[in-house]
Structure 1
Amino acid sequence: MKTPSSSKFVLVVLSLSLFIFLSLPSTCLGAKAKCHSEDKKALLEIKSALNNPYLLASWTPETDCCHWYLLKCNEITGRVIELFISGGEISGQIPEAVTKLPYLRILEFRKLSNLTGQIPFFLTKIPQLEELTLSWTNLSGPVPSFLGQIKSLTSLDLSFNNLSGTIPPSLGNLKNLTVLHLDRNKLTGKIPESLLAKFKGNAPDIYLNHNMLTGTVPRSFGDLNFSYRIDLSRNRLEADVSFLFGKNKTVQFVDLSRNLFQFDFSKVEFSDNLIYLDLNHNKIFGSLPVGLTEVKYLQFLNVSYNRLCGEIPTGGTGRLQDRFDSYSYFHNRCLCGDPLPACKKK
């Protein structure tokens, strides 16, 4: 038989348990906020502007838009924070209704060969946009200078399009960038001196390859550390870029191939972070630096089609002879030694 005191104790415990349970966030209870009605309306406008493609078949008025494909909602507020439309039969231009998603952080239109037109100014009206990807489309026209107004951007990917004209200096205002893709377009002119001038120490990974850029690489690039990659390949860039290298550099992937670069390679120093180095089809002269044999994590090397001379260095932890075949070295002025033919005795 229970005493009055024990009953009171049980009641207190149950009341406390119920209080704790009700105090838990809704996400802990398995409940998620429903899609905000204004966001749902905007998404249906986007679908209509893109001619109601099959890719967006799940976008129906009867269902919660947070359950639709190709987007993500904040689980607490129900606001759309990510939109990534990719790989479907979609035609038209970027819909202006994307500006009606005020909490959007990631916007991606990718692998859409029938997406046409120019990059629209209204993208600057998305207040919290952090990642913008417009890639593998038929977008044309210039890289707009107004993109420099989206100060919240951490990633800008405009690769694999039909963009032309020059790189706008205003992109140098995007001081929060961690990666910049302008590769595989038809860009011309010089790399702006101001492109990375406002960065201090660390710079975004930069992809400018497969364009028609000319002139010299800004000297300010040499004052920065690229965390992973710099790719300037397949342009018409020229002069000395040896300042991109150094013992203390953090960059791991460097591709400067198929340009008109010209500098003395024998004076270049390398960091242990380097794992990929492609310098083929340039006008680089001098000899292979002995320090290259000490880059122990180097996995790819190509210095072919340059003006190098002398014997390929031996020894070291890098072991240039064992790790790379003749295709890494051939078509130089007078480079010799294993794996190329032996050097001629004087």
Structure 2
Amino acid sequence: MKLTLVCPCLLGIEGLVADELRALQCENVRSENGRVYCDGDMQTVARININARYAERVMILLKNFQALSFEELFQGVKSIPWEQLLLKEDTFPVSGSSVKSQLFSISDCQAIIKKAIVERLKEKYNISWFEETGPLHKVRFWIMKDQVSIMIDTSGNGLHKRGYRKNALEAPIKETLAAAVAKLARVRSDGTIIDPFCGSGTILIEALMLAKNMAPGVKRKFNAEDWLNIPKKIWREERERAESLVLQDAKVQAFGFDIEDEAIELTIANAKKAGVFAHLKAQKRDIRDFKAETDYGCVLANPPYGERLLDREGAAELYRVMGKVFTPKRGWSYSIITPEDQFEKLFTKKADRRRKLYNGMIPCQLYMYYK
């Protein structure tokens, strides 16, 4: 069955998601703000869920239509062939959002959509009651300027939940964003990666997984794996495919530094869970002691900032120190993500390249230095 899929993502990384989907052999890839679309089948659903580094989840887009009234919403949803995706015992909760639309009550929209699905299935299965004791199919809706999108979520937990980060320090960077930073910094399979503020190790782990071509979702489970109308072999085949593509001989090495003992312990523990510990060393070290000791290296940093862990003056002083120790050197690059709009002034160097990204809801810039 041919499907239209939609992958929501953090603002600013739509291009990375689109490129990744093309690399995964998805068809008709196209993007808009905060989401990327493609065409495929259930094998594609499994492949994206297991391999996607930058997307937040994978959803099957069932229908787009306009609705200015609850009757139009009801009829639009009821016209969808739900019986092709939902068995009579399946569980199908409804959730979603509405922005700048006539139908602004989320709870009312949920109720109407649920009723429409039930009425459609009643007619198709010739039963009057659905116990919903079977596999979970999360129905999601977006209503934007009266345009309705109806989808089913195949992922379950967001794709940023890889499974290795059971514990984290305050204000960790999201795994999908960390992976994007590593990609934009052009991490290599034979390179050296350094994070001088490693926290719980997320940036280093994502960078190592990228360098080794390790699929981030190979060890976790997805909602659609329980769907009875999808062959289990699809998921087995896609996991085997992903594992066969890992670069076993990658020479990449990573170093994590932090001033907190707990951060070093967490980085080591999470790296072990992620399967990249053999390539990583972590130790306690202040940023003031940073030195570019090897012939080449790639520094990836998400330093503490005023809105988060430090007061603004403390953060400003930290940026000044970074400007002194991150010295230009052939073979070295520095990529720093921060919401501080005065960063270049405090760092005392204008970035060779800047990229606007979002860390959660906080607008940031990725400042890249490589000359």
Taking structure 1 as the reference length, the TM-score comes to 0.28
Which structure: larger Rg? Answer: 1
The higher relative CO (CA closer than 8 Å, separation ≥ 6) is in 2
Q: Please state which structure has a larger fraction of its residues in helix.
A: 2
Taking structure 2 as the reference length, the TM-score comes to 0.26
